[in-house]
A and B are shown apart, each in its own frame.
Chain A
Amino acid sequence: MNTSAITDQPFIRVQDLDFAYPDGTRALEDVNLTISTGEFVALIGQNGSGKTTLSKCLNGLYKPTSGDVIVDGLNSKTTPIVQMVRRVGYVFQNPDHQLFNSNCWDEIAYGPRNIQLTEDEVKTRVEEAAGVVGLPEMYFGEHPFFLSKGLRQRVAIASILALRPQVIIVDEPTTGQDARQSFEIMDFLKDLNEKHAHTIVIITHDMPIVGKYARRVIVMGEGRILADGPTTEIFAHPDVLEKTFLEPPQITQLAQLARDLGFYPGTLTVEEMLTQYQVIRGRTRL
């Protein structure tokens, strides 16, 4: 079974979504999109563009002011949030905002207990989630507060995984991390996507990471979707990115500068650049 196949039936459907905060500020306007199972999507845009607000509408934390968010057939306006979070998990940017139990085991068990599973089921889920994130058993009894940032992040992700949501939204996975840590977390998300068939949505403005991992990009600006498509297409058109004050990763910019030399403006990685270089050099051998 091809676990990363993108099926035809969209798991998430957003129709004409508008969202305004209680004090009247309009955060989202006229948002329409679908997300199918197995996708790896990056939601990008500058601060205040609405990407976090949109994500919170997707898992039911926010209810639409008008329009609909339908997840796995359930409408977020009429579905209790407990049902929604079993389908769409949201990992907050700062793990400190959610860790409050006195040991990691209880922390990961919190979600399953909330959805009223039996203690046996809870045990299975916790061990499963801890295994997936690679949390060694010796940390099960430790207090999360005293763990390193990387471990805390893993515990936070495990606590969401324990609910077995199909879609996992991760808010700023690489902010404040160094290169090695960033790749670790992103490779982990890639595994979740390719080996465990989860749909991944990352909220980020780390463009090199987007280029390397995300197959689809949704660009947001001022509460609207400015562009939605495969990463390579979006990056090939930097004018859209400019509207939300982003620029493509440096390798893409190099390819764009060298467009007249034959390079494709939607180049995403150094590997792609090298391949093209081979071809171009081969051509001049005439």
Chain B
Amino acid sequence: MNKTLLGYVPTQSPIYAVHPFVKLYFLLIVSLFPMFVAAPEWNIALMLAIVLLMWLSRVDMRTLRIYVPIAVSMGSIILISYILMSGTHPEFRLIARFAFIKIYWERVRDAIVVYFRILPMIFTMVFFLSTSRERDVIVAMRTIRLPFVVTYVFAMALRSAGMVLEDFQIVRQAEHARGFDPTGKSLGYRLRQYVMYMIPLFALSLRRAEEFTNALVARGYAFTGEASRVRRADYILTHYSFKYYDTLFTALISASFIILLVLRYGYQFFSIEQSWLINWLSTALR
């Protein structure tokens, strides 16, 4: 089992054979797709395609269950805010009424469209994070020649997240060991107490930061000056080579994007008017 950013994936998974750059490219390009696609059925299809990819990569599908409550609450929030908080147009069609709240078809329709645009983007991100180890992310960034500082800061952010979580556990235990008992207390009380956790975490981070800087300097790392412009050998990249299928995938992703753009702007595909799902809903809610 290898640990990825969001969980564990078995070592035999085919996703490891793919160069990290391809995974990053997939994330960047495919998450743009929903921006050009309004018709929800296409976005739903995209979402399912990504779930299929996750399954093929041997990602543990049970982790997706965590996202169900998030998806539901997000959907509800979008629906409610669209219904309650957007303006109305005299041509809007009223479909229901609860006391003083008027529900217009166009608002519901827009909420659905937006919701199914956001979902595939999230899923693409989840797919990327579930199939990428920390090292993969770094390699992907180095392959596209991002400045070393950027990739390094990113890597350290990832690392410190882990360390802060560990510290947090210990701080919690230390507070419990002094009798702190949140059971039965109000939410306000608990929130105030969480602030109290921040202080030891800050103190620990500050102390660690000084030592860490010393370690960096001792390793010859320089942020400025001549020493910082040294040409790095990028040893990490020697473990990864671009194979024929990596090029193939990259080409496929690029091609799909271009075709999408052509269909969208050249032939008016994916629009709301053409969407059979929207039209079906429209009739159903009459």
Whether B181 contacts A114 by the Cβ 8 Å rule is yes
Give the distance in Å from the alpha carbon of A191 to the alpha carbon of B219 in the complex: 46
Q: Within the complex, what minimum Cβ distance (angstroms) separates A276 from chain B?
A: 43
7 contacts between A and B (CB under 8 A): A56-B173, A82-B179, A85-B177, A96-B207, A98-B177, A110-B178, A159-B178
Report if A100-B181 is in contact (Cβ < 8 Å); known contacts: A81-B176, A85-B176.
no
Extra pairs beyond A99-B203, A163-B178 (7, CB < 8 Å)? A80-B181, A81-B176, A85-B176, A85-B178, A97-B167, A98-B200, A99-B200
The reply to whether the CB of B197 lies closer than 8 angstroms to some CB of chain A is yes
Give the number of chain B interface residues (Cβ < 8 Å).
Answer: 20
Consensus secondary structure, chain B interface: helix
Whether A98 contacts B171 by the Cβ 8 Å rule is yes
Q: Which residue from B179, B196, B199, B204 sits with its C-beta under 8 Å from A85?
A: B179
The reply to whether the CB of B170 lies closer than 8 angstroms to some CB of chain A is yes
The reply to whether the CB of B248 lies closer than 8 angstroms to some CB of chain A is no
Give the distance in Å from the alpha carbon of A111 to the alpha carbon of B200 in the complex: 16
Contacts of A61 in B (CB 8 A): 173, 176-177
Q: Which residue from B179, B203, B207 sits with its C-beta under 8 Å from A114?
A: B179
Within 8 A of B (CB), among A164-184: none
The reply to whether the CB of A92 lies closer than 8 angstroms to some CB of chain B is yes
Contacts of A139 in B (CB 8 A): none
Whether B179 contacts A111 by the Cβ 8 Å rule is yes
Whether B179 contacts A96 by the Cβ 8 Å rule is no
Whether B170 contacts A92 by the Cβ 8 Å rule is yes
The chain B residue with its CB closest to the CB of A91 is B177
Give the distance in Å from the alpha carbon of A153 to the alpha carbon of B227 in the complex: 41
Within 8 A of B (CB), among A38-95: 56, 59, 61, 80-82, 85-86, 89-90, 92, 94
Contacts of B64 in A (CB 8 A): none
The chain A residue with its CB closest to the CB of B169 is A97
- Identify which of B176, B196, B197, B204 gathers the most chain A CB atoms within 10 Å of its CB: B176
Give the distance in Å from the alpha carbon of A252 to the alpha carbon of B8 in the complex: 48
Instruction: Scan B192-213; emit 1 where CB is below 8 A from any A CB, else 0.
Output: 0000110110011001000000
Give the distance in Å from the alpha carbon of A61 to the alpha carbon of B179 in the complex: 10
- Identify which of B178, B180, B181 gathers the most chain A CB atoms within 10 Å of its CB: B178
Whether B178 contacts A96 by the Cβ 8 Å rule is no
The reply to whether the CB of B183 lies closer than 8 angstroms to some CB of chain A is yes
The chain B residue with its CB closest to the CB of A62 is B173
Whether B174 contacts A163 by the Cβ 8 Å rule is no
Whether A97 contacts B197 by the Cβ 8 Å rule is no
The reply to whether the CB of A254 lies closer than 8 angstroms to some CB of chain B is no
The reply to whether the CB of B273 lies closer than 8 angstroms to some CB of chain A is no
Q: Within the complex, what minimum Cβ distance (angstroms) separates A213 from chain B?
A: 23
Within 8 A of B (CB), among A97-130: 97-100, 110-111, 114-115
Whether B178 contacts A114 by the Cβ 8 Å rule is yes
Contacts of A111 in B (CB 8 A): 178-179
Report if A97-B171 is in contact (Cβ < 8 Å); known contacts: A80-B183, A145-B203.
yes
The reply to whether the CB of B175 lies closer than 8 angstroms to some CB of chain A is yes
Contacts of A160 in B (CB 8 A): 177-178
Within 8 A of A (CB), among B191-248: 196-197, 199-200, 203-204, 207
Within 8 A of B (CB), among A233-270: none
Contacts of B207 in A (CB 8 A): 96
Report if A97-B180 is in contact (Cβ < 8 Å); known contacts: A56-B173, A92-B174.
no
Whether B196 contacts A97 by the Cβ 8 Å rule is no
Report if A89-B177 is in contact (Cβ < 8 Å); known contacts: A97-B204, A100-B197.
yes
Contacts of A81 in B (CB 8 A): 176, 179, 181
Contacts of B173 in A (CB 8 A): 56, 61, 92
Q: Within the complex, what minimum Cβ distance (angstroms) separates A146 from chain B?
A: 10
Report if A100-B178 is in contact (Cβ < 8 Å); known contacts: A56-B173, A61-B173, A80-B183.
no
- Those 7 A-B pairs whose CB atoms lie nearest each other, nearest first: A114-B179, A98-B174, A100-B199, A111-B178, A90-B177, A82-B181, A97-B174
Contacts of A82 in B (CB 8 A): 179, 181
Instruction: Scan B108-142; emit 1 where CB is below 8 A from any A CB, else 0.
Output: 00000000000000000000000000000000000
The chain B residue with its CB closest to the CB of A59 is B177
Q: Within the complex, what minimum Cβ distance (angstroms) separates A193 from chain B?
A: 20
Q: Within the complex, what minimum Cβ distance (angstroms) separates A147 from chain B?
A: 12
Contacts of A92 in B (CB 8 A): 170, 173-174, 177
Instruction: Scan B148-179; emit 1 where CB is below 8 A from any A CB, else 0.
Output: 00000000000000000001001101111111
The chain B residue with its CB closest to the CB of A144 is B203
Contacts of A100 in B (CB 8 A): 196-197, 199-200
Contacts of B196 in A (CB 8 A): 100
- Identify which of B183, B196, B199, B204 gathers the most chain A CB atoms within 10 Å of its CB: B199
Contacts of B177 in A (CB 8 A): 59, 61, 85, 89-90, 92, 98, 160
Give the distance in Å from the alpha carbon of A94 to the alpha carbon of B207 in the complex: 12
Give the distance in Å from the alpha carbon of A145 to the alpha carbon of B201 in the complex: 12
Contacts of B180 in A (CB 8 A): 114
